Structure 1
């Protein structure tokens, strides 16, 4: 039983997940910066603070060790993201339908406010920047639709109706 649980846990973290090429490059650059710039600088800071003597009351030493642990934790997380990434090239579909990698411009039929969303993988979502998951309610509603179509999305504040104005890749 224990072996089965461990293998399920391991497989969960080794599952492939979709990611855009831009998202992959962003995570890779962050990994390289943490590994080759920030972590060595913090190690040097910890070593310098340790050389000063009493470590129990040395704030620079305590902070440095804490920051190195945070960096190591983020590096492990980035390793899992990069190892399990399946890069999807953003290419327009022949029929103009929406799928992973699309940038969609649409208008709320009630408020007349325009929204622009990019459909991305779970690991690279950023709602404030308009980057939503294809598994989100809006992402699911948009999949397969085309410019000119109308979609209904069930949101916490109620049903929202959007008209798709433009689809780009």
Structure 2
């Protein structure tokens, strides 16, 4: 049974597009590469053929993994989410108690995480530490360098 994971509509669309690209563009190219290598002669001593077969195997494994992820993917209905607690897709403004720095993060699925745009995974240490917290709560999060404490300042969608 596949693991259920939650995505935004945009994130799920991007995942489907990537899978379609692998199936419609990369798979035929891998088959063509194998055919070209096969035409070069003796397969027992053909490194190009072995490399093409291995690349095809890796591609098929990636396609299979993405199909498994998509079979358990669910789109989150943001209108039904509780705005009083930090959940997936919450936009959270936090303040580091030690240095006073304020940051705003959006908690997203692992495949949508992009720290440059302020999107962190709900499975990351900070993401897990923020889940379920409300405005005014303090999140104590274990990170490799020790325990960090963040005040929850604001939660939005």
Shorter-chain TM-score above 0.5: yes
- Matched with 1:107 is 95
- Deviation above 6 Å: which 4+ runs of structure 1? none
Q: How many residues align?
A: 155
1:97 aligns with 2:97: no
1:29-88, Cα deviation, whole Å (9 max, x unpaired): 111011000110111111011112123343332221111101100111011111111221
1:79-110, Cα deviation, whole Å (9 max, x unpaired): 11111112213348564432111122323121
CA RMSD after TM alignment: 2.6
CA contact (8 A) 1:49 1:60 kept: yes
Q: 1:14 is paired with a residue of what secondary structure?
A: coil
Match of 2:138 among 129, 147, 150: 150
1:91-138, Cα deviation, whole Å (9 max, x unpaired): 4856443211112232312123343432223x52647554222x5443
Provide the C-alpha distance between the structure 2 equivalents of 1:153 and 1:57, rounded to a whole number of angstroms. Answer: 55
Match of 1:63 among 33, 51, 74: 51
Structure 1 gaps of 5+ residues are 1-12
Report the TM-score, using the length of structure 1 for normalisation. Answer: 0.74
Query: After the TM superposition, which of the residue ranges 40-49 and 138-147 deviates more from structure 2?
Result: 138-147
- Matched with 2:155 is 167
CA contact (8 A) 1:97 1:143 kept: yes
Map 1:40-55 → 2, pairs under 5 A: 40-55=28-43
Report the TM-score, using the length of structure 2 for normalisation. Answer: 0.79
- Matched with 1:117 is 105
1:131 aligns with 2:82: no
Distance 1:114 1:53, change over 3 A: farther
CA contact (8 A) 2:135 2:154 kept: yes
